[in-house]
Amino acid sequence: MRDYIWLIPLLPLISSITLMIAAPRLTHKIITLLGVGSVGMAAVATCALAIEFVGNPNPIEIVLWTWIHVADLAPRIAFYVDGLTLVMMSVITGVGFLIHLFSSEFMEHDASYARYFAYLNMFVAAMLVLVLADNLLLLYLGWEGVGVCSYLLVGFWYQNSANGHAARKAFIVTRIGDTAMAVGLLLLFTELGTLDIQSMISSANSEWEIGDNLPTIACLLLLAGAAGKSAQLPLHTWLPDAMAGPTPVSALIHAATMVTAGVYLIARTHGLFLLSPSAMTAVAVLGLATSLMAAFTALVQTDIKRILAYSTISQIGYMFLALGVGAWTAGIFHLMTHAFFKALLFLGSGAIIHCLHHEHNIFKMGGLRRRMPVTFWSFMIGSAALAALPMTSGFFSKDQILLQAYQLASIGPWLWLGGLLGALLTAVYSFRLVFIVFFGAVNTEPDREIGWRMAVPLTLLCTLSLVGGYFSLPLTNVFPTVDAGHPAHWVEVISVAVPLLGVLLAYGLFLGRQLKLQPWMEGQIGQAIRQFWFSGWGVDQLYNSLLVQPYSILAGMLKGEPIDRLYNAIVRLNQTLHQWLSVTQTGRMRWYIASMVFGLIFTLGIAFNVAPGAI
Amino acid sequence: MQELAVPLNHVLLVSSLLFCIGMLGLMIRRNIIFILMSLEVMLNASALAFIAAGAHWGQPDGQIMFMLILSVAAAEVAVGLGLVLQVQRRFKSLDMDDANRMRG
């Protein structure tokens, strides 16, 4: 398998191109076979690669060809596979395959079935290039590729202009981060003379000291790129709107894979980040702030997909926190478990939306426990894992992050406390969702139960969400080993207890109703806070009044082309004069003669007056 | 050098009167034949001025110019009458304004 790694991204790419070109001539069955099958084959190939890798865990490097050769710049199309890449590839192809299978039922009756799979396959190919790339330029190619696919899929139902708007927003906001990242790449190239990740990091380590300015700047630029792609503050606003796309797309791109690309980037360049403690702190603080902000927002949302979107932002914040405190393995571990349970939750919500006539409002659902048992259990397990209840996969990864955060010197305990608050909120909002949607009175009757192509991915992801915590990732050779001593016993006990407390709280608030929030909520302050959280802390409005509106006003002013107006006036003057003169072109000979005569008399008159002696 | 019997000023006056008559005719007549005739009058008026001036200064140039104008006038009449014939055939009229085909 080692020599055929290039097959893995190539398979979905070929399928995507075939679907784009030949879609009208293909039957529904062949489209499904191509779209789902190609990703399935890639998953099988990844599996074979993984088995081989476990036997011989040395990094694999294969060079296909030199991409460009200009002076010192000679990026190659080359793939680099180590434990980290392998984890990412398994998530992308494995979870990706399940979501493709789910989509084949979810999108069955859509008119643009082939277009959907063409985009989705292209996304998988681009994402694989991103994680396989051995230099930052090729990584950037994949990075932009997934951005384009995300844009295309968010705006998949483009007939509704709101979706097109959301797609543009996603594209433009991530582009801000991408630009910062491109600047970072250029800086790294000019300073270190190479974009090849491994040699770049080794030369950075020999040229720069820990705490130098240059690595800090480079790392902060990379962080900006990662924040854009991974929807972290202050570039997170696109992700909730990106829910305009089909739900399986939200599951694959905006929960499981693409949004974790930023986490992957930082983990991949961890050698650089280790040179800059301040950048590491920035990553941790940014992650924690995003995580808390998004958790508070998720608490009051009413759209099922927006709750999950904010929860995704919050969980990626956790991953950033993990990276920032140097818990690399825990961060990647959380990335993987999050991919399992968040894909599960999104697919579950997709199943609900599919069966409930595209209803998104959770308060119009309710009592679905007996109507949709498969979905109920998958949501139960997914939420338990999201809330990090003991024995689920989320518990293992989140626990590791919190414990390692606690052990960090100086700000560690504060980060730990923030993380605990986030964990509490996570438990509350995830079980609020479960209690409101699946318990209580039935508000909308589902008109069908899901078929096997939806049930199988849900069941498999349920299993993964439960047992994912017992996987041991082949990351020991990739990251520097952290001396994970055991903190005091009470720290661990609290970490376990907090999510349980959150579930109890959610039960009291939303199901048993022992805790009364009503008087608080109705008060003026309660309403204001609720509105503030609901709008995502007003960030959208802030950007709107700070950036979008001034830009629109400026554009409105420039639309009239104030400078061109001068030149246009000259043109218009000439046109007017021309019209006046063309009136005199009557074709009547006598007029011409008369005007000639009067002209002559006029000229002679002037000549006599001005220079009488000349004539 | 023989003196002119009529003072130069008188001749020039006659010539400019003739020129003005021709010009007025050009401006107000509609019949093409009359327009051509007015043109002849104007040409001859200027020719008269040349002759008088040539005689006044005793130079042959005036007469040479007269010969030139005469031949130009002859050529012009030949072409002009040809055109008049064509106009008459095409528009069944000699009215200048009937031949106007412009819509401006």
The pLDDT tens digits of the residues spanning A38-50 come to 999 999 999 998 8
Which percentage of chain A shows pLDDT scores above 70? 97
Query: Residue A60 forms beta bridges with which residues?
Result: A81
Cα separation of A241 and A169, whole Å?
Answer: 8
The pLDDT tens digits of the residues spanning A228-255 come to 888 888 888 888 888 888 888 888 888 8
Q: Which of chain B's residues have a Cβ under 8 Å away from the Cβ of A583?
A: 104
Q: Which of chain A's residues have a Cβ under 8 Å away from the Cβ of B24?
A: none
Q: Which strand (E) or helix (H) includes residue A64?
A: strand A60-66
Q: In chain B, which residue's Cα lies nearest the Cα of A594?
A: B27
A586 touches chain B (CB under 8 A): yes
Q: How confident is the model at residue A541 (pLDDT cuts 50, 70, 90)?
A: confident
Distance from CA of B29 to the nearest CA of A (A): 8
Q: What's the confidence (pLDDT) of residue A126?
A: 92
Would the pLDDT of A445 be above 80? no
Phi, psi of B102 (to 5 degrees): -85, 145
Range scoring the smallest mean pLDDT among A278-282, A523-527, A588-592: A523-527
Residues 6 or more apart in contact with residue A395 via CB below 8 angstroms: A385, A388, A389, A469, A496, A499
Q: Which strand (E) or helix (H) includes residue A76?
A: strand A76-81
Contact A38, A14 (CB under 8 A): yes
Phi, psi of A344 (to 5 degrees): -60, -50
- Mean of the pLDDT values across residues A373-391? 86
Q: In chain B, which residue's Cα lies nearest the Cα of A586?
A: B104
For residue A82, give the amino acid letter.
Answer: D
For residue B78, give the amino acid letter.
Answer: A
Pairwise pLDDT comparison (A17 vs A440), residue with the higher score: A17
Q: Which among B35, B100, B104 is the nearest to A582, CB-wise?
A: B104
A548 touches chain B (CB under 8 A): no
Phi, psi of A294 (to 5 degrees): -70, -35
Q: What's the confidence (pLDDT) of residue A545?
A: 85
Q: In chain A, which residue's Cα lies nearest the Cα of B29?
A: A590
**Residue B56 half-sphere exposure, CB side, CA atoms within 13 Å?**
13
The pLDDT tens digits of the residues spanning B74-102 come to 999 999 999 899 988 988 888 877 777 76
With vertex at residue A174, the alpha carbon angle to CA A171 and CA A180, rounded to the nearest 5 degrees, is 135
Q: Which of chain B's residues have a Cβ under 8 Å away from the Cβ of A582?
A: 104
Q: What's the confidence (pLDDT) of residue A524?
A: 77
- Mean of the pLDDT values across residues A15-28? 87
Burial class (CB in 10 A: 0-12, 13-18, 19+), A466: middle
Q: What's the confidence (pLDDT) of residue A458?
A: 86
Cα dihedral sign for A132, A138, A140, A144? Answer: negative
Phi, psi of A66 (to 5 degrees): -85, 130
The pLDDT tens digits of the residues spanning A307-317 come to 899 999 999 99
Query: Residue A196 forms beta bridges with which residues?
Result: A135
Cα separation of A254 and A247, whole Å?
Answer: 10
A447 vs A303, A352, A377, A434, A444, CA distance in Å? Answer: 20, 10, 19, 20, 9
Cα dihedral sign for A517, A522, A523, A524? Answer: positive
Cα separation of A139 and A121, whole Å?
Answer: 18
Q: Which among B26, B30, B97 is the nearest to A593, CB-wise?
A: B26
Q: What's the confidence (pLDDT) of residue B1?
A: 46
Cα separation of A480 and A475, whole Å?
Answer: 9
Burial class (CB in 10 A: 0-12, 13-18, 19+), A439: middle
Q: What's the confidence (pLDDT) of residue A560?
A: 77
Q: Which among A585, A594, A597 is the nearest to B104, CB-wise?
A: A585
Interface touch A583/B27, C-beta < 8 Å: no
Interface touch B27/A588, C-beta < 8 Å: no
Cα separation of A336 and A263, whole Å?
Answer: 11
Cα separation of A300 and A530, whole Å?
Answer: 7
Q: Which of chain A's residues have a Cβ under 8 Å away from the Cβ of B28?
A: 590
Q: In chain B, which residue's Cα lies nearest the Cα of A584?
A: B104
User: What SS3 class is residue B42?
Assistant: helix
Best mutation target among A589, A591, A597, A601 (most B Cβ atoms within 10 Å) is: A589
Would the pLDDT of A453 be above 50? yes
A587 touches chain B (CB under 8 A): yes
**Residue A351 half-sphere exposure, CB side, CA atoms within 13 Å?**
32
Q: What is the DSSP letter of A73?
A: B
Distance from CA of B5 to the nearest CA of A (A): 26
Distance from CA of A611 to the nearest CA of B (A): 22
The pLDDT tens digits of the residues spanning A84-131 come to 888 899 999 999 999 999 888 888 888 888 889 999 999 999 999 999
User: What SS3 class is residue A367?
Assistant: coil
A582 touches chain B (CB under 8 A): yes
Q: Is A465 left (phi over 0), alpha (psi -120 to 50) or beta?
A: alpha
Q: In chain B, which residue's Cα lies nearest the Cα of A585?
A: B104
Q: What's the confidence (pLDDT) of residue A270?
A: 87
Q: How confident is the model at residue A501 (pLDDT cuts 50, 70, 90)?
A: confident
Interface touch B30/A590, C-beta < 8 Å: yes
Q: What's the confidence (pLDDT) of residue A484?
A: 59
Burial class (CB in 10 A: 0-12, 13-18, 19+), A431: buried
> Which residues in A316-339 are b (16+ Cβ under 10 Å) and which e?
bbbbbbbbbbbbbbbbbbbbbbbb
A494 vs A371, A408, A416, A500, CA distance in Å? Answer: 37, 18, 11, 10
Burial class (CB in 10 A: 0-12, 13-18, 19+), A165: middle
Would the pLDDT of A536 be above 80? no
Contact A337, A385 (CB under 8 A): yes
Q: Using an 8 Å CB-CB cutoff, list residues of chain B that contact chain A.
A: 23, 26-28, 30, 35, 96-97, 100-102, 104
Q: Which of chain A's residues have a Cβ under 8 Å away from the Cβ of B102?
A: 585-587
Q: What's the confidence (pLDDT) of residue B4?
A: 64
Interface touch B101/A587, C-beta < 8 Å: yes
Q: Which among B96, B101, B104 is the nearest to A589, CB-wise?
A: B96
Q: In chain B, which residue's Cα lies nearest the Cα of A582?
A: B104
Which percentage of chain A shows pLDDT scores above 90? 17
ipTM, two decimals? 0.78
Range scoring the smallest mean pLDDT among A163-177, A281-295, A485-499: A485-499
Strand A60-66 versus strand A76-81 pairing type: antiparallel
Would the pLDDT of A613 be above 60? yes
Would the pLDDT of B45 be above 60? yes
Cα separation of A82 and A267, whole Å?
Answer: 12
Contact A16, A121 (CB under 8 A): yes
What is the value of pTM for the model shown?
0.77
**Which ranges constitute the DSSP H helices of A193-327?**
197-207, 213-229, 238-241, 247-251, 261-268, 270-273, 277-300, 304-324
For residue A586, give the amino acid letter.
Answer: T
The pLDDT tens digits of the residues spanning A398-411 come to 888 888 888 877 78
Interface touch B97/A594, C-beta < 8 Å: no
Contact A382, A345 (CB under 8 A): yes
Which tokens in the block code for residue A15?
Answer: 């399928």
- Mean of the pLDDT values across residues B64-78? 93
Cα separation of B17 and B2, whole Å?
Answer: 26
The pLDDT tens digits of the residues spanning A43-95 come to 999 999 888 888 887 888 888 888 888 877 888 888 888 888 888 999 999 99
Q: Which of chain B's residues have a Cβ under 8 Å away from the Cβ of A594?
A: 27
Q: How confident is the model at residue A518 (pLDDT cuts 50, 70, 90)?
A: low
- Across chain A, mean pLDDT equals 85
